[in-house]
Amino acid sequence: MTQAWRVVALVGIATIVLKSIGPVLLGGRELPPRIASLIGLLAPALLAALVAINTFGSGRSLVLDERVLGVAAAAVAIWRRAPVLLVVVIAAAVTAFARAVV
Amino acid sequence: MAKDAAGEGERDHRDGIRKALPLAVAVFGFGISFGVLARTAGMGSVAPIVMSATTFAGSAQFAAASVLNAGGSVATAVAAAVLLNARYAPIGVSVAPSLRGPWWSRFLRAQLVVDESWAISSEGDGRFNTRVLVGAGVILYVAWVSGTTLGALFGDVIGDPARLGLDAAFPALFLALLAPQLSSARTKQAAVLGAAIALALTPFTPPGVPIIAASVACLLGWRR
């Protein structure tokens, strides 16, 4: 097996296991209330981390680039209650425009 | 009653597809660039397509292909990808109570969980609409695998997706889905802490670790 195929197989197996371990072992079960309240905060914590990393992260460094403008425009659109589709399009358009101009 | 439930199920699936559609365009673009990068990295044209079909996790696949491209070892490439995908363990646990049915059906639907489908199907207060999750997951999967196929077989047809600003579409989506969840002081604290942890660790840890570490912010829920 070549190097590439070994990577494909190992990463594939690891990812399939990581994704399914919670749903297969705990699926459909109501969690104890205290655990459920922890899980309830997992979404805001992880979503905020994903926003931060995808806006400022570039490998191991933090950078300020055109994405910041796009995400700032998206924030304004969210505040003005724009639909999600429009928010995403505005972010991409502003970022692309800033990259073209700079 | 059963008929009503079926109608609702269909509507929820379509709802997931509709919500994920703008992201599917961006995912398709990045699928093309993954196919191109993986081929450049000496992975051939079939292995990248198989990888997208089985791994279905963009950032980890990019990381693995970049390591191979830079002449890194199999172990380094796998480690980088696994670190990036480790967040799917807590994400899977968060979805688990909402996923019902036999174990094999939970197993299959769990494979459709990616950041975007997970975020779109969140109903706040820790619940997830699994039909929305499946609808969104399927359209994103099709976009990712077909984009990869196009890139791996035919090369660069759209150029750098970043030029089109598509990389900013992801944080914008996550922000749009985060905003309605910030209704209580507790969720605001968790969000601020999660983002702070992720940013603070970025310069010091391999990519992927900051996001897993951010899940520690949910411990704020331990206090009642």
DSSP state of A31: P
Hey, which residues 118-177 in chain B have their CB within 8 Å of chain A? 119, 122, 124-126, 162-177
Tokens of A73: 């425009």
B107-119 residue pLDDT tens: 999 999 999 999 9
Beta-carbon separation of A90 and B181 below 8 A: no
| Closest CA in chain B for residue A101 | B163
Alpha carbon of A65: minimum distance to chain B alpha carbons (Å): 10
pLDDT number for residue A70: 97
Set of chain A residues whose Cβ sits within 8 Å of the Cβ of B103: 24, 27
Residue B17 host element (H or E): helix B2-40
- Is the separation of the CB atoms in A87 and A78 below 8 Å? yes
- Is the separation of the CB atoms in B168 and A93 below 8 Å? no
pTM surpassing 0.80?
Answer: yes
Alpha carbon of B125: minimum distance to chain A alpha carbons (Å): 5
- Is the separation of the CB atoms in A34 and B207 below 8 Å? no
Which ipTM did the prediction report? 0.91
Q: How far apart are CA A39 and CA A101, in angstroms?
A: 43
Tokens of B70: 């830079």
pLDDT number for residue A57: 92
How far apart are the two ends of chain A, measured CA to CA in Å? 46
Beta-carbon separation of B171 and A74 below 8 A: yes
DSSP state of B99: -
Alpha carbon of A86: minimum distance to chain B alpha carbons (Å): 9
B14-29 residue pLDDT tens: 999 998 998 899 899 8
Mean residue pLDDT of chain B comes to 89
